[in-house]
Amino acid sequence: MECSQHDDVKLFEALILEIAQAGLSWTTILKKRENYRIAFDGFNPEAIALYSSDKLSGLMSNLGIVKNKHKISSTVSNAKAFIQIGQQFGGFDKYIWDFVNARPIKNHRKHARDLPVKTMESGIMSRDLRA
């Protein structure tokens, strides 16, 4: 089964949910996924980039999402960076897939515990995204 994703909005959704998940279980975040979709305008980066401090304050009172000030406020800066990268590279999809030469990495591991925490590609990608 091919698991590659090339839709920028879905890639942005994955980014937002990954940030929300940090320090929590995926089960917790996946149960709140629809709440995130509603709270964050369908994961539309253009809409999120324009969020005001009032909108962010309102999200802090949303019981359907993880109420972490830093995770919520990072969505705005991440949306702006996402848009900027997309403009620079012809789409976030193009940018992110260039790290793996536009080909999914196929791991043949029997158990999730056998997956490495980091890979060379993930390290390079992470450094570039932080820059």
pLDDT tens string 52-74: 999 999 999 999 999 999 999 99
Torsion sign across C-alpha atoms 126, 16, 58, 51: positive
Distance CA(83)–CA(77), nearest Å, equals: 10
**pLDDT value of residue 46:** 97
Tell me which DSSP letter residue 40 carries: T
Task: Tell me which residues of the chain have a pLDDT lower than 70.
Answer: 1-4
Q: Is the model's pTM score more than 0.75?
A: yes
Counting residues of the chain whose pLDDT is more than 90, the rounded percentage is 66
Listed residue (14, 38, 40) closest to 26, CA to CA: 14
| CB neighbourhood size of 126 (10 A) | 12
**pLDDT value of residue 3:** 53
**pLDDT value of residue 4:** 65
